Each structure stands twice: as C-alpha cells, then as structure tokens.
Amino acid sequence: MAGNRETVILVHGLWVRSLVFFLHQRWLTGKGYTVRRFSYHSVSNGLRQNAEALSNFIAATKGDCIHLVGHSLGGLVILATLARHPDPRIKRIVLMGSPIMGCHAATVMARLSWLRSIIGQTLKDWLASPRPPVPSSVEIGILAGDFGLGLGRLIPGLPQPGDGVVSVAETRLPGAADSIVLHVSHTGMLISRLCDNQVAAFLESGKFIHA
C-alpha cells in the first residue's frame, strides 16, 4: 500500500478527457494513493502549451512524492513536461501505450488531408521534434499491449505486435527502468484491472510483476 503522502497524477490521451481514467483513479485510491486527473486540449493545443499546463498542475499539487501515469498521448505530454520543467518530487512514471518512438498510424493519417486535422497539434509537434531527454532521477516503466483490436487496424502497414493503435516497438524508451507487454488493447488499458495492478506494482517498487 502507498504512503499517505504519495500522489498519482493521471494524464489522458488523444480525443478524450480525464474522465476516462475514472476506474484507475478508483483502483489506485483503494491502494492508498491520493489521485488527481489532469485534463488538457489534446487536439487544439500544441505540445509545449500542454506541457506548460501539466507543469503548473504538478506545481499546484501538494505532497512530497508525486507519480505520473500517462495513457497514449498523455505519456508524451509527461515526457515533454519532464524535459522542460523537472520537479524533484516526481519519483516514478508509468507510460501506457505511448508512441514514444513514433506513431505509424498518425504518420499515415497526416498524409491524408481529410484526416490530418484530427490527429491534433500535440501529436504533430511530438512527431516533428527530437525526443526530449529524461531526467536520470526519475524511474519510468513502459506498459505496452499486444491485443491488436483498435482503429489502427484500418491503417495499412501497422507494425505488429501492437495494441491496435500503437505497436510494441513504438512504445520503447531507452533507459526505462522496466517494461512489460500485456494482452490488452489500446483502449482496453483504461478498463483493465490487470493494467492497474501492474501500474501499482511499478509505482511501489520500480518494477512490474513478471510471471
């Protein structure tokens, strides 16, 4: 169980709001964490603007120890925030299905004028920028899925294995403390108790549970 001074901030992905993390908030609260959900404009705002907003949210969060959990695009916002506005209270981070190394589905969509706008400015900025450095003081866990059910299956050439939107290879982060692949889809991560248990394990120990 978490100490009562540990806070988890949940950061959602593209096209949605923080309510999608309702179940994870409930489960993590039951494990003893104070949990807050961060919302941002994933389509209209750029990466730098959303990183600034998350930095301000973190600064306004009370507690001596803060963990961050990001799903999909939310993980990229977290990494951009760490690079620009490090906070010494941030200890561990879990990125779930975040396309850190690129996103084939978004790249293909960006080539089509009728789909280009829906991938949003934040993701466009990430894809057009070099990967930001990650502070060595922060432990990061990478959680990927290999149940390929999602809109990405409509995109030709989507690398496998993957979660239906993001391939496992696209989630990799050199220097991560640990990584794990679960049999879940991209959206299914948000309602998976198995994912929650793995997130909690990493936040507590810096390692996932490997069978």
Q: What 3-state class would DSSP assign to 162?
A: strand
Digit-coded pLDDT (tens) for 53-69: 999 999 999 999 999 99
Residue written as token pair 């993001």? 166
Structure token pair of residue 44: 């209209």
**Predicted TM-score of the model (pTM):** 0.95
Query: What residues does each domain of the chain span?
Result: 6-205
181-191 per-position pLDDT tens digit:
999 999 999 99
Summarised one tens digit per residue, pLDDT across range 24-41 is: 999 999 999 999 999 999
In CATH terms, the fold of domain 6-205 is: Rossmann fold (3.40.50)
- Please check whether residue 7 is in contact with residue 67, taking contact to mean a CB–CB distance below 8 angstroms: yes
Closest CA to 96 of 124, 74, 122: 74
